[in-house]
Amino acid sequence: MTQALKLTPNVENGKKIYPLCASCHMKNGWGKPDGSFPVIAGQHRNVLIKQLSDIRSKNRDNPTMYPFTDPGSIGGMQGVSDVTAYIATMAKDPKPGIGNGKALDSGKSIYQKRCQQCHGDQGQGNNDAFFPSLKGQHHAYLYRQLQWIRDGYRKNANAVMVEQVKALSDEELEAVADYLSRL
């Protein structure tokens, strides 16, 4: 799939392919506020391609996504390039699912100390470094992914990130997820 990174994307073709993704991630790419499907709208193209590649190679366990990571299902590597470019242009969810709001100061402090150096001061991520945008993602999805990274279930996490979250409690992870969901 890294081949898809090198191709010139056709956003209009990506828009035609996107309905395959919309069955779970919704027409607008906003997923579901309960976190069962993440917001993908506005995510960095490189991050989307990496995640599809990691799922396809089973470096990231996500059986629901396996059929959609086959380049043949979306028009080969050009289709992967196109649909990820289209998703990157979509507007982020203005009202993602949020947590209870009880530990936002703690979540902000933890984020600034442990996460900001890679994901940016506003959770914007970094396309070139494959660091996902985290701002405006559903709280429940972020919380689950942080737990899975900490606990070793999500195998494709950056080693630096694993190091940053491995000592955090569930309450601390929930606070960070709540903070990020509100950015």
Q: What tokens were used for 113?
A: 């100390």
Give the model confidence (pLDDT) of 80-95 as tens digits: 999 999 999 999 999 9
Q: How far apart are CA 79 and CA 182, in angstroms?
A: 32
* Residues 83, 114 share a domain: no
| Number of domains composing the chain | 2
With respect to residue 154, please indicate whether it lies within any of the assigned structural domains. Answer: yes
Q: Is residue 96 part of a domain?
A: no
Residue 98, in any domain of the structure: no
- Together in a domain, 11 and 60: yes
Q: What is the pTM of this model?
A: 0.95
Q: Please indicate, yes or no, if residue 99 is contained in any of the structural domains.
A: no
Q: How far apart are CA 77 and CA 10, in angstroms?
A: 12
Residue at 9: amino acid letter: P
Check whether residue 111 and residue 168 sit in a common domain.
Answer: yes
Q: Which of 159, 153, 108, 163 is nearest to 135 (CA)?
A: 108
Q: What domain range is 45 assigned to? A: 2-89
**Token code pair at residue 97:** 């699912």
52 and 128 housed in the same domain = no
Q: What is the pLDDT along the chain (183 residues), one digit of tens a residue?
A: 679 999 999 999 999 999 999 999 999 999 999 999 999 999 999 999 999 999 988 999 999 998 888 878 888 899 999 999 999 999 999 999 999 999 999 999 999 999 999 999 999 999 999 999 999 999 999 999 999 999 999 999 999 999 999 999 999 999 999 999 999
* One domain, residues 7 and 58: yes
HSE (side-chain half, CA atoms, 13 Å) at 171: 4
Token digits for 173? Answer: 């992870």
pLDDT of 68 reads 86
Q: What does the block give as tokens for 54?
A: 């990691």
CATH of the domain at 143: 1.10.760.10
- Which residue intervals of the chain are DSSP H helices? 2-6, 11-17, 19-25, 45-56, 76-89, 104-114, 116-119, 139-150, 159-165, 170-181
